Amino acid sequence: MIRTPAIPVLFAAAALTLAACSGSNTATSGDAGEPVSGGTLTYALSEWPRCVDPALRARGLSASEHYAETLTDQDRSTGEVIPRLAEHWEIEPGAKAITLVLREGVTFSDGTPLTAEVVKANFDNLKEITGSAKAETQVISALNTYLGTDVVDERTVRVRFAEPELGFLRNISDPYFNIYAPATLQSSLEDRCAGKTLIGTGPFVITEVVNQQRITLDRRDDYDWAPAGVTEHNGPAYLDRIVFEVVPESGVRVGGLLSGQFDVVDDVPVVDQDNLVAQGATLLTGVVPNLVPGLRQNPLSPLGGDTVVRQAIQRSIDREEIRDTLYNDRYTVPTSAIAANTPLYTDVSEYLAYDPDGAQRLLADNGWTKGPDGVWVKDGRRLAPKVMLVSGSSQGATQQELELIQQQLKRVGIDMQILPVTQAEYAQLMNNKAEGGYDFLAGSGPSKDVDFLAGLFLNTNPALSGSLQVPLEDAANRLNLAATDEERVRAAADLQELLVRDGYWIPVREQTKAVGVAPNVHGVTINPYGATVLYDAWITDTSS
Amino acid sequence: MTGRLGYLARRAAQGVVVLWAAFTLTFVVLYLLPSDPVEIMLHAGGDQTAVDPAAIAALRAEHHLDQPVLLQYLYTLGDVLRGDFGHSVPTHEKVTTLIAEALPHTLQLALFAFALSVLSGAALALTATYTRARWLRQFLLSLPPVGVSVPTFWIGLILLQLFSFGTGWFPATGNKGFASLVLPAVTLAVPTSAVFAQLLAKNLAAAWAQPYIDTANAKGVPRGRILLHHALRNAAIPVLTIVGITFGNLLAGAVVVETVFSRHGIGRLTEQAVTEQDIPTLLALVVLAAAIFVVVNLLVDIVYPLLDPRIARVAPVSLGGDAS
């Protein structure tokens, strides 16, 4: 006989509270008075970043801006590019050269000053890394036409490109373009990846890295160059120390937050969110700007290559049901191929409305007939698309989401098959896409600047290689080669419309980070990347 | 005594064969997987990105992947013999460094859990045999099946809820000294101590029915002394045999326990290596696990004669089965 202990098991308890608050992305835990300096903040991460240096395929570490900064930044409300380490800039006509003037008085934590030479060395170094296939792909895309940097004077650099690069100013606001001290650039990629040699200009300094366990950051007392209009204060940070700790089990993160062992925790599961808010913690949510998690066609398979099929699937997915069933109203439904907070986003939700009747009409009008089992058939082929996903990956549409979509499509007469594969099988099926091993794949694409969208939909992308879909190729190329801002805005809008209308991308949800903050922690913010920023954060002493 | 040394030498040689076989089998299995480490390196979890083919070729050459299988095998075997297990696929770190970082944490955990399970298992079995209260014996003897059947992660979460989140006696996470070792070790020890307790209690019961116990009783030897000096010595030998296997189970259990308690160690490393299909790391972990099995079993072989001198005098029966 197994006796079930009658103790509250917090992990399953989703308290039904009608908490109407929370869900904003810059909120603090109420009005707690004047910020006080001091204290250590313990931050529970759900996983160890693949690399601590964002330029080298980093995933998972919150906001590298704690220890390293970028040349530009992004206005939190308008999304406009604003100064950070660069004070101002000028784009030459034709957009093939950009002159940047650096802020004065900035030093790295090892004491070396920020100069034009250092910035040039950083760009050259990044370009060199892109050749080694170890760089983050966005860096590769951002620097693919980079020719070189000229040092004009001590504080001025001129960056030259072979093609117009209107997205560059925004690209250099990404953490991939953190500016490091010369010592970092001379260290090995392994050491940078492990976080041992990252020397930046941020308000904190990395003082300890224990692989797979924790990263400790200590405050820099001489920090005095917070970007104007982004932070709530200037000068040194309030916290003495931040300890990032890896806690893979979500129940332990939530329990640890509620029992005071952690101050901030990443990835709060949906079932625990109401409970957490009910117990006084704050829940911050941040939409990650990207190509939203969704489905992408296999352009060479009969079903994935058929526009009518893709459009029918696009209309047969009830995205609100997905949100309400698997998430809650802190989450948003996608309204384009990219998240709503991505710069140059366009609302194309008219093509994303749930319209099962329209989908069936569309299929019937294009020669599909219902077979005896209720599934559409055309030329002897059943409408049974195979959708592959990497088991356990949370990058794309998840298994749960696909299972719900499978039910939704069934109502319309589409017999979707879910094909869980390993990373290796995924790559193999993708490389042999003409064999039709899959019709759609679950994925997403990192992107803060829509420039990157072009790279995701040109047929140089491995998911599309070997295909030529003229309208898509044209639309992506127009965005890629835009030489003026007007052209760029229009091309971005056109591409988004095409992607969604013709189902080149089938959005499922907006990727949203949910961060739990203990009641005595204030001033935690989420940056435009969906990452947590602790520069303004402070802790009230509750002697807990 | 030379016979004894020769016996140990033979067992050690067998151990080396076991290691080689484990390595080769793992290599073959991993090679048969539809896997391309370079693809894994470049496309993590469904990322939709493009990579330069020249860079792919360079990575392929760096990992000997452009060579025929047999050559790849020989290269890898040669490297392993020199103690070089190569670099982890996703992180580029040296596999030996990764393991050296993780192993001490897991060994601490496993040894502590092992000690706990031996002590608690023995205590339970001895109390159950010693007591004259029927209800207490029944109750104690019903515990091991429960211990074995309750999932480890559940025990872990319950312990966390009670002793960390609830009372704050122990930290919930991390490798922070002895306090952070207690809950994970207890969690890990529950199933193994249950196995020990069950087996020992059964053997004690069997020994208790032997005539020499009656003799001792008749001579007026106290009940406790009979238990510890007469019955336990005989009953302990079968338990010792499963110790080797159990220690391996502790390592396997570390995968779950280290995840629940956010401890870095071999278990977490294994879990990551499997999910990311990190072949060099997996290969090294399999060889490590095999080595631990070999060493523990060797130790068990050495301990047998200490418990029962008769074992040393009889020609030992080896795993291979030649009874010369």
Tokens coding A358: 């329209």
Q: Say how far apart CA A310 and CA A303 lie, in whole Å.
A: 8
A455 — contact with chain B (CB < 8 Å)? yes
Q: Tokens 């991308």 correspond to what residue?
A: A505
A395 — contact with chain B (CB < 8 Å)? yes
Neighbour count for residue A281 (Cβ, 10 Å): 23
Question: Do strands A505-507 and A290-297 pair parallel, antiparallel, or not at all (unpaired)?
Answer: antiparallel
Beta strands in A255-375 (DSSP E): 264-265, 282-287, 290-297, 369-370
Per-residue model confidence (pLDDT) at position A46: 87
Q: Say how far apart CA A338 and CA A294 lie, in whole Å.
A: 10
- Could you tell me which chain B residue has the CA closest to the CA of A255? B165
- Could you tell me which chain A residue has the CA closest to the CA of B93? A190
Per-residue model confidence (pLDDT) at position A411: 94
Q: Residue B71, exposed/middle/buried by CB under 10 A (0-12, 13-18, 19+)? A: exposed
A261 — contact with chain B (CB < 8 Å)? yes
Q: Which chain A residues in 161-190 lie under 8 Å from chain B, judged by CB atoms?
A: 189-190
CA angle B228, B229, B232 (to 5 degrees): 55
> Which tens digit of pLDDT belongs to each residue from A285-328?
988 888 899 999 999 999 999 999 999 999 999 999 999 999 99
Q: How far is residue A485 from each of residues A257, A320, B107, B227, measured CA to CA in Å?
A: 46, 34, 60, 89
Neighbour count for residue B152 (Cβ, 10 Å): 18
Neighbour count for residue A422 (Cβ, 10 Å): 18
Q: Say how far apart CA B73 and CA B274 lie, in whole Å.
A: 20
Query: Hey, is A275 helix, strand or coil?
Result: helix
Collect all residues with Cβ–Cβ distance below 8 Å to A534 and sequence separation of at least 6.
Answer: A41, A43, A63, A66, A237, A239, A242, A264, A524
CB A246 within 8 A of CB A212: yes
Beta bridge partners of A245: A44, A214
Select from B63, B110, B115 the least CA-distant residue to B289. B110
**Which chain B residues are closer than 8 Å to A50 by Cβ?**
44, 90-91
Q: Angle of helix B266-275 relative to helix B232-260, nearest 10 degrees? A: 50
**Which chain B residues are closer than 8 Å to A460 by Cβ?**
50
- Could you tell me which chain A residue has the CA closest to the CA of B257? A249
Q: Say how far apart CA B148 and CA B198 lie, in whole Å.
A: 10
Q: Say how far apart CA A524 and CA A527 lie, in whole Å.
A: 10
Q: Point out the residues of chain B with pLDDT beneath 50.
A: 44-48, 316, 318-324
Question: Do B47 and A446 count as a contact with CB atoms less than 8 A apart?
Answer: yes
Question: Do A44 and B164 count as a contact with CB atoms less than 8 A apart?
Answer: no
Q: Say how far apart CA A507 and CA A317 lie, in whole Å.
A: 9
Tens-binned pLDDT, residue by residue, of chain A (544 aa):
333 333 333 333 333 222 333 334 444 444 567 899 989 999 999 888 878 888 776 555 557 889 999 999 988 888 789 999 999 999 998 889 999 999 999 999 999 999 999 999 999 999 888 776 666 667 777 888 899 999 999 999 999 999 888 888 988 988 889 999 999 999 988 888 888 899 999 999 999 998 888 899 999 999 999 998 889 999 999 999 999 998 988 888 999 999 888 999 999 999 999 999 999 999 999 888 888 999 999 999 999 999 999 999 999 999 999 999 999 989 999 999 999 988 889 999 999 999 999 999 999 999 999 999 999 999 999 999 999 998 877 778 889 999 999 999 999 999 999 999 877 778 778 888 888 899 999 988 876 667 778 888 988 787 888 888 999 999 999 988 888 888 989 999 999 999 999 999 999 999 898 999 999 999 999 888 888 999 999 998 754 4
Question: Do A259 and B168 count as a contact with CB atoms less than 8 A apart?
Answer: yes
> Which tens digit of pLDDT belongs to each residue from A174-188?
888 999 999 999 998
**Which chain A residues are closer than 8 Å to B169 by Cβ?**
none
pTM of the model: 0.81
B101 — contact with chain A (CB < 8 Å)? yes
φ, ψ at A148 (rounded to 5°): 165, 175
**Which chain B residues are closer than 8 Å to A446 by Cβ?**
47, 49
Tokens coding A199: 């020397």
A33 — contact with chain B (CB < 8 Å)? no
CB A44 within 8 A of CB A262: yes
Per-residue model confidence (pLDDT) at position A447: 66
**Which chain A residues are closer than 8 Å to B49 by Cβ?**
137, 445-446, 455-456, 461-462
Of B36, B102, B168, the CB nearest to A427: B36
